Amino acid sequence: MLVIALAKGALLGDSVARLSQVGMDFRPLLAADNRFLQMNDPHTGTQALLVRNQDVPVYVARGQAHLGIVGYDVLRESQAEVAQLVDLGFGHCRMSVAVRQDSPYTCALDLPAYSRVATKFSHCAREFFTALDLPVELVPLAGSVELGPITGMAEAIVDLVATGRTLRDNGLVERDVLFHSTARLIAHPLSYRLNQYGLQELTAQLERIQVHTAHKTDLEHIQQREP
Structural domain of 118? 93-180
Q: Are 97 and 132 in the same domain?
A: yes
Bridge partners, 162 (sequence order): none
H or E segment to which residue 127 belongs:
helix 122-131
Residue 227's pLDDT is 52
Question: Are 216 and 157 contained in the same domain?
Answer: no
Query: Based on the domain organization, do 83 and 98 belong to the same domain?
Result: no
- Distance CA(148)–CA(151), nearest Å, equals 6
What distance, in Å, lies between the first and last C-alpha atoms of the chain?
52
At 179-212, the pLDDT tens digits run: 999 999 999 999 999 999 999 999 999 999 998 7
Is a pLDDT exceeding 90 seen at residue 215? no
pLDDT at 220 over 90: no
How is residue 112 annotated by DSSP? P
- Same domain for 192 and 153, yes or no, is no
Are 80 and 126 in the same domain? no
Which pairs count as long-range contacts for 25-30, CB under 8 Å and 24+ apart, including other chains? none
**Residue 6 is part of a domain; what is its CATH number?**
3.40.190.10
Q: What pLDDT is stored for residue 221 in this prediction?
A: 41
Instruction: Clarify whether residues 176 and 141 are in a common domain.
Output: yes
Q: What is the pLDDT of residues 99-148, one digit of tens each?
A: 999 999 999 999 999 999 999 999 999 999 999 999 999 999 998 999 99
* Torsion sign, CA atoms 165, 170, 173, 176: negative
Q: Are residues 176 and 187 in the same domain?
A: no
Same domain (yes/no): 160, 193: no
Amino acid at 29: L
Confidence of residue 217 (pLDDT cuts 50, 70, 90): low
- Residue 152: left if φ>0, alpha if ψ -120 to 50, beta else—which one? left
The pLDDT of residue 68 is 98
> What is the predicted pLDDT for the residue at 129?
98
Kindly state whether residues 102 and 71 are assigned to the same domain.
no
- Judgement on whether residues 71 and 100 belong to the same structural domain of the protein: no
Examine the domain organization and report whether 14 and 117 are in the same domain.
Answer: no
The residue from 180, 196, 211 where one domain ends is: 180
Residue 224 has pLDDT above 90, yes or no: no
pLDDT greater than 50 at residue 223: no
Domain co-membership, 15 together with 85: yes
| CA 122 – CA 125 distance, rounded (Å) | 5
- Total tally of structural domains belonging to the chain: 2
